[in-house]
Amino acid sequence: MEGKRENDHSTVRIEVSAAAETGGPYPVLIRSGLLGELASLLRAHVRVHRWAIITDDIVEGLHGRTVADGIAGLGPAPLLISFPHGEASKTRELWGRLTDLMLESGIGRDGGVVALGGGVVGDLAGFVAATYMRGIPCVQVPTTTLAMIDAAVGGKTGVDLPAGKNLVGVMRQPRLVIMDPAVLGSLPDDVHRAGLAEAVKHAAVADEDYLAWIEREVDVILRRDPRALQALIRRSVEIKASLVAEDTLETGPRASLNFGHTIAHALEHVSGFAIAHGYAVAIGMVAEARLGEALGIAMAGTAARIERLLTRLGLPVHIPPATALAEVIAATRADKKSRAAHVRYALLERPGRAARSPDGQWTFAVSPAEALAAITGEASS
């Protein structure tokens, strides 16, 4: 892999044009080696008096020193704070603790936050930055496949509550996102695979050519070839950026990014977050593709094609056998997108295209019975 990095020195730059009310546009930079160039990137893009680097214990061990030492020359020594890794840390309590630690260290309104880690770090540190003294700049430096492909772009920040995921937070864009595909080399294999689920989702809702490319390149993607990863991240970020642009409040096509996620969130909830997000999304996409077919919205064969690719990527495609399906369907109603007995699902029309209802909606009201039938497979039998 190292040998290929020399072919790979042109930085990809994508402008994400977010709505002004969430903070406006910002650049995403993608290239192997950018983590080592953080100081010059921050100096060029975001001037703050002092940085707080927020990360988790695993990422701290891998990259904490590099990043802290790298940006030490920018001003007063950065504050490096880490917390136990995992979704269970995404709480109001930890948000409060991180805020308190920054206050105790004297970080002022002229400070900034570097969110160094996966999706949990990005959401939590992003929320800390968005609410610290009513908002200080945040730079997202995602270190997992999932966070690069999906979580670090779009401006969602927040924490989970016992009642559900992401129930408190704000939409607040980062000032800059820096993605270094080389850091994905140190990820455990299952974590890398889990992240690829969101790439399949981007392809499934928006770009059949991209879907076909992933199908062709499964092996190099799983081998973590840096050029393949840069291309993968680039296309996913482009798709997500185009969908979130002008639609930050999720009333329009951005809603199609929820494909797979209604079931996924319910599964995560019912499992007590024991199931990885990417795995839940893989299972959710197959279930919701099947639901689309059962409702006559998706082309026949849509679910099978998605399922085949996910299986080749080593991702689960079936709800774990011990799961109480009625409980999963009940949990979709706790999803924050719902308010009535019917729950709105983002569905496919075919592989590579999200479905749009005749009245222009990007989601579809589905009854608990229809949803249950689809996930038990009864509808397609």
Chain-centroid distance of CA 297 in Å reads 26
351 contacts 276 by C-beta, under 8 angstroms: no
Q: Does 134 bind a second copy (CB under 8 A)?
A: yes
Please confirm, yes or no, whether 240 is among the known catalytic residues. yes
Q: Of 13 and 109, which has the nearer Cβ to a second copy?
A: 109
Environment class of 15 (CB within 10 Å of its CB; exposed 0-12, middle 13-18, buried 19+): exposed
Contacts for 223 with CB less than 8 Å, ≥ 6 apart? none
Please confirm, yes or no, whether 9 is among the known catalytic residues. no
Q: Does 100 bind a second copy (CB under 8 A)?
A: yes
> Of 63, 90, 175, 198, which one is the catalytic site residue?
198
DSSP strand pairing (50-56 vs 26-30): unpaired
Q: Of 93 and 359, which has the nearer Cβ to a second copy?
A: 93
- Contacting a second copy (CB under 8 A), which of 11, 40, 99, 376? 99
DSSP string over 177-209: EEE-GGGGGGS-HHHHHHHHHHHHHHHHHH-HH
Q: Does 245 bind a second copy (CB under 8 A)?
A: no
User: Phi and psi for 51 in degrees, rounded to 5?
Assistant: -100, 140
Distance of closest approach, residue 136 Cβ to a second copy, in angstroms: 10
SS3 85: coil
Distance of closest approach, residue 102 Cβ to a second copy, in angstroms: 10
Q: Does 166 bind a second copy (CB under 8 A)?
A: yes
Q: Of 164 and 252, which has the nearer Cβ to a second copy?
A: 164
Q: Does 23 bind a second copy (CB under 8 A)?
A: yes
Q: Does 2 bind a second copy (CB under 8 A)?
A: no
Q: Does 365 bind a second copy (CB under 8 A)?
A: no
b/e code 163-196 from CB counts within 10 Å (16+ = b): eebbeebebbbbbbbbbbbbbbeebeeebbbbbb
Q: Does 25 bind a second copy (CB under 8 A)?
A: no
Residues with a catalytic annotation lie at: 134, 156, 198, 240, 250, 254, 258, 261, 265, 277
Residues that bind a second copy (CB under 8 A): 19-24, 49, 92, 96, 99-100, 103-104, 106, 108-110, 130-135, 156-158, 161, 163-164, 166-172, 336-339
